[in-house]
Structure 1
Amino acid sequence: MASPQAQPAAVVQGPNYRFTVLTSQLLRLEYSPDGEFEDRPSQVVLHRDPEVPEFRVFDKPEALEIITEHVHLVYDKRPFTPHGLSIKVLGKVSNYHSVWHYGEVGEKNLGGTARTLDGIDGPCELEPGLMSRYGFAVLDDSETLVFDEAGWLDTRTEGRTDLYFFGYGRDYRKCLRDFYRISGPTPLVPRFTLGNWWSRYHRYTEDEYRGVIERFAAERIPLSVAVLDMDWHLTDIDPAHGSGWTGYTWNRELFPDPEGFARWLHDSGLALTLNVHPADGIAAHEEVYARTAEALGLDAEAGDAIAFDPTDPEFLRAYLEEVHHPLEDAGVDFWWLDWQSGPYSRIEGLDPLWVLNHIHFLDSARNGRLPLTFSRYAGPGSHRYPIGFSGDTIVTWESLAFQPYFTATASNIGYGWWSHDIGGHMWGYKDDDLATRWVQLGVFSPINRLHSSSMPFTGKEPWRFRADAEAAMGEFLRLRHRLVPYLHTMNHRAAAEGRPMVEPMYYEYPEVDEAYEVPNQYLFGSELMVAPIVSPRTRSLNRASAEAWLPPGQWFDFFTGTRYQGGRRARLFRTLDSIPVLAKAGAILPLVHGEVLGNGVAAPERLELRVFGGASGAFTLIEDDGGASAGERGHQVRTPIEFDWGTGELKVKPCEGAADGVPAVRSYDVAFVGVEDPSGVRVLSGGREVSASVSYDGAARTLQIKVDDVAAAEGFTLATDGGLALAPNSTVDAVERLLEDVHAKFTLKGDIFARVASGEPPAAVVAALAGMDLDADLFGALVELILADAG
């Protein structure tokens, strides 16, 4: 339900102007030549009734001033001009840069997102976002449509100005939370969307598609979503009756039993989505044509195509009920709305893409389901209709290099659920390293959807690639499904707290310059930080690298356990089977145990808890029943987990709540990363000591404890005798592995190794290596390892 009417106490109004103090940092600015103002909800803003903040008003004949704790507005009571309307942001950023004058875009805007990456080869221009290093941004809502009392769209009166001023300084998370307060929150997406998606624009037969799914299963690579691109429907159409681009009738030469195929996919643990291009309407050859024409009062015998009309509620009702619902009843779980026909319709300002997103999302909540659509971005407010399809990118390193920045920056306009064509869609070139690095990015993205075009040789099946690339892809795709408990908890966090899964580094470190200087590095949920590799490897090292900034504190490599001292820039080198994914000290990461992986994303009966040493931490695992009310506590299971570094004690507390599909009894594998072997370990559950299997991996510096059959209602406590201590990095071993790969003279490699193994202080070793006239990449890779935990 929308709540568009502002509280009267928040409004300062004159004959032709109206200012609404929504928060102490968010103002609505309206000018109306006719003296009337808009109080209906818009496509972007649904709510204008938050609690009224404290503010002061000075109403003088020559000017009006409104002052809150955070902003100071000055207005000369005439039509809005740069000379007569200004707002200064108060606080840390307050200087001459932090004053906005009407009409200014403002410098240092941190960017938002773009409608599509179709045909993009590298970077593209982004629309402005809600944040700026100078502390303000303005969202112009003057041209959007508004909802009438029936819930349909209506045009506004021309000539009125309707702006929202965000004056949040560098409190970016608060800015985003308040944007969600007025625009509506990001919805919870179904758990199954968080696994691996298989997609390709290819004229599959049913047997061929089954074969691909079965091959993934044989390779032990799990999937959760099956995508069929447009060739699921009839495409070879007489041009006099349609283009074949739009279609709603299964091609039974390719899929003779669509209902049976959908059942097989569901029985195999996968959801099904179909691609649709609605622009051509419903042609006479479609199986649904006659009943749709009848529902609309049209003459089906005439055979005229039913035009796609996003401005007609009656057409849209029939489009959903007569065309889409029967296909959903036969097994389609959600739709890939692939609108590529522009923003125009019979009503000026009504974008068909926005209408499709809106009606499909609301309609998809039928029958107790979590709503879901998969479509393109249609402007601010589109976060209410996840998931986003970013479009058809070119298969190049340049395209890959843009996507981490693009994904993280979209959070600046609240858009947290981009799904990219992982591996790239079309053209470009074959490069096994590129394909592998793209999969690695996909695994640490909101959605991981492998995709490619219908061109020969472009498929993203891992077995199409070189053996080392195939092995790396397989391990990362398995890791994606292991991460689902963590990802789904972050899914809940996004919906409840307004925290996108992927955030730019400056969200956490807004006052640190370095946080703005690593555009491809990002926070991935509450526990992880990722610096994807987006450039080719150096052949002489057999490694590629990423420039990163390590924030203050201690950070652990997720894959190797190497500990890094933060507060510095670093160049991080990785072989093809790894990328820089760092966990903060004290991080707790819930994972599906690798032995129980399979298709789908059901809540597992065996969990791994990976706990990183060096600091205390806490994490609450959130699971749900998967229904439309999964965002409500009454349909959730919350398992609080606490780690006390000082005592070396881990508590998995009794769960809170109950929900269908969440095991009442679980087994746990706890892995303490980066620690020494303690003298003893005890596990207690339900007030009694229970048996556990304890081992220590010296090479990985990891303590492992297995606890079986724990009642969720009781939880358990794991205590280490004498607490835990950090283990030093295995620097000599790591350098030895590096030198094994290096293409250089054996004598030089021997000299390097001798120096590293000498036992000298790290700084002295680095100084000695600097005098050896080493290749810059080799020197950089050595410095990373030698100084990792030395700072």
Structure 2
Amino acid sequence: MTLAAYHVPDFDSVADEAAVVRGDTYRFTVLTPRLVRAEYDPDGEFEDRPSQVFWYRDQPVPDFTVEETDQRIAIETDALRLQYERGEPFSAETLSAHVRELGTVWHYGDADDGNMGGTVRTLDRVEGSTDLEPGLLGGDGWTVVDDSESLVFEDDGWVTPRDAPRKYEDLYLFGYGHDYLDCLNDFTAVAGDVPMVPRWALGNWWSRYEDYSADELQELMERFREEDLPLSVCVIDMDWHVVDNAFHGGWTGWSWNRDLFPDPEGFVDWLHESGLKTTLNLHPAEGVYPHEDCYDALAEHMGIDPASETPIPFDASDDTFLRGYFEHVIDPLEDEDGVDFWWIDWQQWEESPEMEGLDPLWALNHLHALDRTRDGRRPFILSRWGGLGGHRYPVGFSGDAYISWDSLAFQPYLTSTGSNVDFGWWSHDIGGHFGGTGTPTGFGELYARWAQFGTFSPINRFHTGNIDYIDKRPWTFEPTVREALGDAMRRRHELVPYLYTMAWHNHDEGVPLVRPMYYPHPDTELAYHVPQQYYFGSELLAAPYVSERADDTNLARQTVWLPEGEWYDFESGDRYDGGLEACYGDLSDTPVFAKAGAIVPQDGDPGFGDVDNPETLRVLAFPGADNTFELYEDDGTSQAYLDGEYATTTLRQSYESGRLEFTVEAATGALEHVPDTRDLELCFRGLREHVDVAVRGGEETIEYDAETSTQIVRIDDHSSDESVTVTLTTDAPTLRAPGSGRLARTKAILRHLELPARSKQRIEEYATAFLDGRRSDLTWLDNFAEVATGEQLRAIVETLCDVGVAHLDNADGERLLLWNDDGRTDVTYRLSTFERGGVPLAVEGETERGPLPGLEIVELDDLAGEDWTLTVEYADAGSVTFDGEGVADRYEGDVR
């Protein structure tokens, strides 16, 4: 028996012969101008079957030329020149390629030191950061994927070892220079597209490892609704099934625990009626035992007498077992009980004893994703990363995270870097799984910050381990934390229209939702040294707070690099120029910025269990540039989008300094997926109050929100198949609001500082004089040397001036960022290195000092065998000292 037809993808693995250059023992396939497959096979047989990674080698044949002599062959495209000594095994002397864009040369066997990383299988047993596997992007302009040992698919749809000769090699050379997005786009062309995730997956998920009963879960879900805390997925961890049995330890199970869930179908129906989807947790490693409901059917399928009660082991290599696993174990739980998808919590061995090279995790991910397509649904699972090609099986479960600030600080970097293998749909344990104190005060701040990151991450799954003293229900926390959690959850559901459109871009173009800063800024060195910030879709930049507040300031701090141009605080509408910014915020703040001209569609009336295409479409638009945004909508669940069954609505902005024209064009495409009429709420953020507003195509009401500098134009019952245009004009020099600026931000910081109130008033007066030019230096800070700590002075100066320092320590290295855009001479630094043990080095030149430089990136990993300290002094009024342990003079804690 073989796998079912829907478990076998439509491969197209044989390349066009016109793209192939071959000899007796070598074959090169020019897949794109910058992607070449290189094979060496002493037997001259080569491999045309699809591998676990590469499925679609039949690509349009690019332009290339071939130069041949008796000794050498050269293949040349617009981007690459590959040279090979004919007939020789691959070596540094026989195989090389020149990448034209950067002028770099790859030789076979070169260390990929410039690789920018990919992702990691799991964060289990990891606290803080960890090394990542290699990715597809290289700072030197090239990367190589060695596919020689991956399994290949037989005609029956299942994998087998290649059985290739000893010196066989199968390499894929990616020579994309710094065209990172083109690399991802071409990779998905040959390895398969990222499927559209279901729309409901983009809301908030609730998960806890707990032996909930159906009644307890129903009561909990109703409480979330009462608290106006929207959810879209209810996760049921492993205690859904029988765990107390005589056969094994209880982790594996396939039968509902009827003591907890006496009516599973009825309970899942209730979840669906409430607008919630559900998943069940699986640990398949122990196989199927006689006590399971599905045992008799699977035993008969496997040719086993059920009366023998012979255990059926889990065997990822056996296609007969695998077909029975789905038809008799998995599918009935979906078809009869209504389970929507599966959380595959595989934590066991990485190779199958029955087939060399087969990772059971990969097998489960591959087949579970495809199994959903049997009734037209989208491939969708929750599981750990199973290796390159895992982008075809969203979404990723990053594993059991430790509850710590270090773990939170690593997750933005892990998420953005995962995009380098197009594995963008990460789901983290929001709030962590292991460890922590659980105290409402000590844990509350960390939890709120994690939730804010979750809002601006791919999948937002709140999760808790089975620890009685860790309680993440938002209403159990003090009001400030509770409010921050509620704001984060509601904002997430507001963003679903934007997120879903980005999911379409990920499918259509290979562009992940979370994007490292170097994707659009590959030639800017700073873009590679800001690991805790990222582009969140095409319009936004996020840099969530990932360290706790400082005692002296009562504020969290995050260093943010805003690329050249104009930016707006997503919430307040405050305007920023490009450059490095030190952001300080209380628990209600999350550093998220919109680029000039940004257009962000939202759900204007999100509800519990409701992530459908919105009846009230809110659009946030920011001045400063022209822009177009295509809002994407479909049925949210099926694969009909592959046949063009979707609708788009163009949102278009034209901007001049005194005039902004914004058009919501008529929806086009499959209009059955768009409400016939919608309430439009067009919010023009960052604009001045008194402007003229004209609307063509609808009746409007207009109001102004001074707190966020937002002109709000409401148009009720707008027909989706008609366009509407709003024009805002002013006689003033610009439509843009004056902006609260540095003084307002300084005053906001002063409110939080542990300083005498009179001192705060005097600092405000001095700061006002400094900003309006009546004082040009910072010597006035001396007046507060006795009352202000170094960390407080740092917050004041970094807010008033474009000057600062940040210590960044992550998996990609430890470094210092020093910047001084204002060229100030009254903010100075001293960087000293020491032998291990604290003995100062006496050699001249090992202490740097002077005014902070305009921009300097100090790679601390280069100080091998040495300790270091950095002291920054503010106009002789006070200083802050940092070292590798995160200990500071007059301030304790790692400075980020």
Counterpart pick for 2:277 among 271, 276, 283: 271
Deviation by residue 1:623-675 (Cα, 9 ceiling, x = unmatched): 10124234347321211000111231110000012354531100011111111
Counterpart residue identity of residue 359, structure 1:
L
Correspondence for 2:859? none
Correspondence for 2:328? 322
Correspondence for 1:604? 614
Which residues of 2 match residues 201-220 of structure 1 at below 5 A? 201-220=209-228
Identity %: 45
Q: How far, CA to CA, are the matches of 1:624 and 1:473 in structure 2?
A: 30
Secondary structure, in 3 states, of the residue corresponding to 2:215?
A: helix
- Answer with 361-370 or 761-770: which moved more: 761-770
Correspondence for 1:634? 644
Which residues of 2 match residues 500-519 of structure 1 at below 5 A? 500-519=512-531
* Alpha-carbon offset, residue 708 of structure 1: 0.5
* Alpha-carbon offset, residue 69 of structure 1: 1.7
Query: Is 2:700 aligned against 1:692?
Result: yes
Query: Is 2:182 aligned against 1:174?
Result: yes
Query: Is 2:734 aligned against 1:749?
Result: no
Query: Is 2:338 aligned against 1:331?
Result: yes
Deviation by residue 1:186-222 (Cα, 9 ceiling, x = unmatched): 1101000000000011111111111211111111000
Query: Is 2:677 aligned against 1:668?
Result: no
Correspondence for 1:729? 739
Q: How far, CA to CA, are the matches of 1:227 and 1:52 in structure 2?
A: 46
Secondary structure, in 3 states, of the residue corresponding to 2:518?
A: helix
Secondary structure, in 3 states, of the residue corresponding to 1:38?
A: coil
Counterpart pick for 1:618 among 628, 643, 658: 628
Q: TM-score, normalised by structure 1?
A: 0.96
**Mind listing any 5+ residue stretches in structure 1 that lack a counterpart?**
none
Which residues of 2 match residues 432-581 of structure 1 at below 5 A? 432-566=444-578, 568-581=579-592
* Alpha-carbon offset, residue 780 of structure 1: 4.3
* Alpha-carbon offset, residue 608 of structure 1: 1.2
Q: How far, CA to CA, are the matches of 2:566 and 2:193 in structure 1?
A: 33
* Alpha-carbon offset, residue 611 of structure 1: 0.7
Deviation by residue 1:719-749 (Cα, 9 ceiling, x = unmatched): 1244861111224444333222211123321
Query: Is 2:300 aligned against 1:291?
Result: no
- Answer with 227-236 or 568-577: which moved more: 568-577
* Alpha-carbon offset, residue 693 of structure 1: 1.2
Q: How far, CA to CA, are the matches of 1:179 and 1:497 in structure 2?
A: 10
Counterpart pick for 1:255 among 258, 261, 271: 261
**Mind listing any 5+ residue stretches in structure 2 that lack a counterpart?**
1-9, 804-820, 823-896
Against the structure 1 CA distance between its residues 135 and 766, is the aligned structure 2 distance closer, same or farther, given a 3 Å change threshold?
farther
Counterpart pick for 2:792 among 778, 785, 788: 778
* Alpha-carbon offset, residue 680 of structure 1: 2.0
Counterpart pick for 1:90 among 87, 90, 100: 100
Correspondence for 2:200? 192
Against the structure 1 CA distance between its residues 61 and 663, is the aligned structure 2 distance closer, same or farther, given a 3 Å change threshold?
same
Q: How far, CA to CA, are the matches of 2:581 and 2:782 in structure 1?
A: 20
Q: How far, CA to CA, are the matches of 1:727 and 1:771 in structure 2?
A: 34
* Alpha-carbon offset, residue 761 of structure 1: 2.9
Correspondence for 2:405? 397
Deviation by residue 1:565-603 (Cα, 9 ceiling, x = unmatched): 00x21211111111110000100111111x442223111
Task: Kindly indicate whether the alpha-carbon contact (under 8 Å) linking 2:73 and 2:83 is maintained by their aligned counterparts in 1.
Answer: yes
Task: Kindly indicate whether the alpha-carbon contact (under 8 Å) linking 1:762 and 1:786 is maintained by their aligned counterparts in 2.
Answer: no
Counterpart pick for 1:280 among 286, 290, 306: 286
Secondary structure, in 3 states, of the residue corresponding to 1:260?
A: helix
Q: How far, CA to CA, are the matches of 2:319 and 2:33 in structure 1?
A: 39
Q: TM-score, normalised by structure 2?
A: 0.85
Query: Is 2:645 aligned against 1:645?
Result: no
Against the structure 1 CA distance between its residues 540 and 387, is the aligned structure 2 distance closer, same or farther, given a 3 Å change threshold?
same
Against the structure 1 CA distance between its residues 788 and 427, is the aligned structure 2 distance closer, same or farther, given a 3 Å change threshold?
same
Q: How far, CA to CA, are the matches of 2:91 and 2:770 in structure 1?
A: 69
* Alpha-carbon offset, residue 762 of structure 1: 6.4
Q: How far, CA to CA, are the matches of 1:728 and 1:775 in structure 2?
A: 32
Against the structure 1 CA distance between its residues 770 and 129, is the aligned structure 2 distance closer, same or farther, given a 3 Å change threshold?
farther
Q: How far, CA to CA, are the matches of 1:235 and 1:199 in structure 2?
A: 19
Task: Kindly indicate whether the alpha-carbon contact (under 8 Å) linking 1:122 and 1:398 is maintained by their aligned counterparts in 2.
Answer: yes
Correspondence for 2:858? none
Q: How far, CA to CA, are the matches of 2:773 and 2:124 in structure 1?
A: 48
Query: Is 2:66 aligned against 1:57?
Result: yes
Correspondence for 2:429? 421
* Alpha-carbon offset, residue 544 of structure 1: 0.5
Task: Kindly indicate whether the alpha-carbon contact (under 8 Å) linking 1:426 and 1:458 is maintained by their aligned counterparts in 2.
Answer: no
Against the structure 1 CA distance between its residues 564 and 8, is the aligned structure 2 distance closer, same or farther, given a 3 Å change threshold?
same
Deviation by residue 1:107-139 (Cα, 9 ceiling, x = unmatched): 111000111111110111111111111110000
* Alpha-carbon offset, residue 296 of structure 1: 2.2
- Answer with 729-738 or 279-288: which moved more: 729-738
* Alpha-carbon offset, residue 243 of structure 1: 2.1
Secondary structure, in 3 states, of the residue corresponding to 1:449?
A: strand
Q: How far, CA to CA, are the matches of 1:668 and 1:13 in structure 2?
A: 60
- Answer with 133-142 or 147-156: which moved more: 147-156
Deviation by residue 1:596-619 (Cα, 9 ceiling, x = unmatched): 422231112112111111222211
Against the structure 1 CA distance between its residues 379 and 734, is the aligned structure 2 distance closer, same or farther, given a 3 Å change threshold?
same
Q: How far, CA to CA, are the matches of 2:23 and 2:426 in structure 1?
A: 42
Counterpart residue identity of residue 710, structure 1:
H
Q: How far, CA to CA, are the matches of 1:443 and 1:765 in structure 2?
A: 41
Counterpart pick for 2:238 among 209, 224, 230: 230
Query: Is 2:30 aligned against 1:24?
Result: no
Correspondence for 2:85? 76
Secondary structure, in 3 states, of the residue corresponding to 1:448?
A: strand
Task: Kindly indicate whether the alpha-carbon contact (under 8 Å) linking 2:582 and 2:799 is maintained by their aligned counterparts in 1.
Answer: no
Q: How far, CA to CA, are the matches of 2:502 and 2:464 in structure 1?
A: 28
Q: How far, CA to CA, are the matches of 1:549 and 1:621 in structure 2?
A: 28
Secondary structure, in 3 states, of the residue corresponding to 1:782?
A: helix
Task: Kindly indicate whether the alpha-carbon contact (under 8 Å) linking 1:30 and 1:162 is maintained by their aligned counterparts in 2.
Answer: yes
Correspondence for 2:157? 151
Q: How far, CA to CA, are the matches of 1:562 and 1:765 in structure 2?
A: 24
Correspondence for 2:419? 411
Q: How far, CA to CA, are the matches of 1:14 and 1:505 in structure 2?
A: 43
Counterpart residue identity of residue 228, structure 1:
I
Against the structure 1 CA distance between its residues 453 and 628, is the aligned structure 2 distance closer, same or farther, given a 3 Å change threshold?
same
Query: Is 2:14 aligned against 1:5?
Result: yes
Secondary structure, in 3 states, of the residue corresponding to 2:292?
A: coil
Task: Kindly indicate whether the alpha-carbon contact (under 8 Å) linking 2:580 and 2:802 is maintained by their aligned counterparts in 1.
Answer: no
Secondary structure, in 3 states, of the residue corresponding to 2:647?
A: strand
* Alpha-carbon offset, residue 412 of structure 1: 0.7
Q: How far, CA to CA, are the matches of 2:61 and 2:498 in structure 1?
A: 37
Secondary structure, in 3 states, of the residue corresponding to 2:245?
A: coil
Q: How far, CA to CA, are the matches of 2:17 and 2:383 in structure 1?
A: 38
Query: Is 2:116 aligned against 1:106?
Result: no
Q: How far, CA to CA, are the matches of 2:607 and 2:552 in structure 1?
A: 36
* Alpha-carbon offset, residue 55 of structure 1: 2.0
Q: How far, CA to CA, are the matches of 1:756 and 1:575 in structure 2?
A: 21
Against the structure 1 CA distance between its residues 342 and 762, is the aligned structure 2 distance closer, same or farther, given a 3 Å change threshold?
farther
Correspondence for 1:34? 43
Correspondence for 1:47? 56
Counterpart pick for 2:137 among 106, 126, 131: 131
Counterpart residue identity of residue 480, structure 1:
R
